[in-house]
A = this chain, B = another copy of it.
Amino acid sequence: MSARRPSSADSLAALGETGLLRLLTGKWKPDRVRVMTGVGDDCAVLRGLGKNHFLVFKTDAVVEGVHFSPQAQAGQIGHKALARALSDLAAMGARPLAAVITLGIPAHESVRRLRAIYRGLERTAKRYGVNLVGGETTRARQLFLNVALLGECRGHRPVLRSGARAGDLIFVTGRLGGAQARRHLTFKPRLAEGEWLAKNGLASAMMDLSDGLGADLPRLATASGVEAQLDLAAIPRASGVTLKAAFEDGEDYELLFTARLSHTKTLKKKWPFGTSLRCIGIIHYHRLKSVELSFVHGFDHFKQRRGLPSLRGRLVC
């Protein structure tokens, strides 16, 4: 990413989330001795001590009115806050270690509700082996929870977004679409699946699907410098969901990954999980002519939507 000076024409709506992050963080040049990957992947990766030890570091916030409604069940708010960050750890093939929580609280918030939110957080932490080790509170006009999560890979390397190569097949776990109406507060982060793929060296590139396949796959393709060709009929859709919704809805929190062709037999044969696994496409060299899927766009926090914008990624069908 290259940084540039903001011009007076820049606005959040014009830049979009990705453009803003590029503008704000494009000049960051972390020390390569300690930092393996900074901005641009699901998590940052720091080199630990010893050859095959890596620390994986993530921050993520949920805000009332943005990521959950005021009517949401309190325990599920706590679950979502932690599970979103866990999903990013899963996408690196990392195991969670510890989390610290910042809670922003409006003046008249109910203590009972906060307590219930934290009970949800604790249940999810227990279930996925996260040590809750620190908490801060601050006043705020809007309830928010920020989760900072630390994980590690021991004995294997984390899986980055940048490892996809021509000839790799594209896989996705679970079923896509419709999450915002049904399971965005109750989804299961694919931690066991992600770690298994990383430990067995079966994923060449991986990320989690948070903004929708239509927004996320181009990110993986761009990070790897490749093009992705999808078999639209193979995309696993949640029941009653259109193809468009499976591309665009977001909040799936499923794993999207690529695997070497030579590994796919082993992958399918040894996959030990109940979670469904589908091959949805193939990776090509970047020189292929890209075709715009005009009905596809992902979720963007800031970008104005005038009709349905076209995708400027590299999805080829």
**Residues of B with C-beta under 8 A to A17:** 137
User: For the complex, what is the distance from the CA of A89 to the CA of B12, rounded to whole Å?
Assistant: 33
Q: How far is the CB of A57 from chain B (nearest CB, A)?
A: 6
State which residues 141-200 of A face B: CB under 8 Å.
141-142, 144, 146, 148, 150
A6 within 8 A of B: yes
Selected from B39, B50, B101, B142, the residue in CB contact (under 8 A) with A133 is B39
**Residues of B with C-beta under 8 A to A25:** 118, 132, 135
User: For the complex, what is the distance from the CA of A137 to the CA of B126, rounded to whole Å?
Assistant: 27
A34 within 8 A of B: yes
Tell whether, in the assembled complex, residue A131 and residue B34 are in contact, meaning their CB atoms are under 8 Å apart: yes
Q: How far is the CB of A47 from chain B (nearest CB, A)?
A: 10
Q: How far is the CB of A58 from chain B (nearest CB, A)?
A: 7
A241 within 8 A of B: no
Tell whether, in the assembled complex, residue B21 and residue A100 are in contact, meaning their CB atoms are under 8 Å apart: no
User: For the complex, what is the distance from the CA of A107 to the CA of B150, rounded to whole Å?
Assistant: 30
Report if A49-B46 is in contact (Cβ < 8 Å); known contacts: A34-B98, A142-B142.
no
A24 within 8 A of B: yes
A222 within 8 A of B: no
Tell whether, in the assembled complex, residue B58 and residue A53 are in contact, meaning their CB atoms are under 8 Å apart: no
Selected from B12, B30, B39, B115, the residue in CB contact (under 8 A) with A109 is B12
Closest residue of chain B to A5 (Cβ to Cβ) is B115
Tell whether, in the assembled complex, residue A24 and residue B115 are in contact, meaning their CB atoms are under 8 Å apart: yes
Interface set of A (CB-CB < 8 Å, partner B): 6, 8, 10-12, 15, 17, 20-21, 23-25, 27-28, 30-31, 34-35, 37-39, 43-44, 46, 48-50, 53, 55, 57-63, 65-67, 97-98, 100-105, 107-109, 111-112, 114-115, 118, 122, 131-142, 144, 146, 148, 150, 301-302
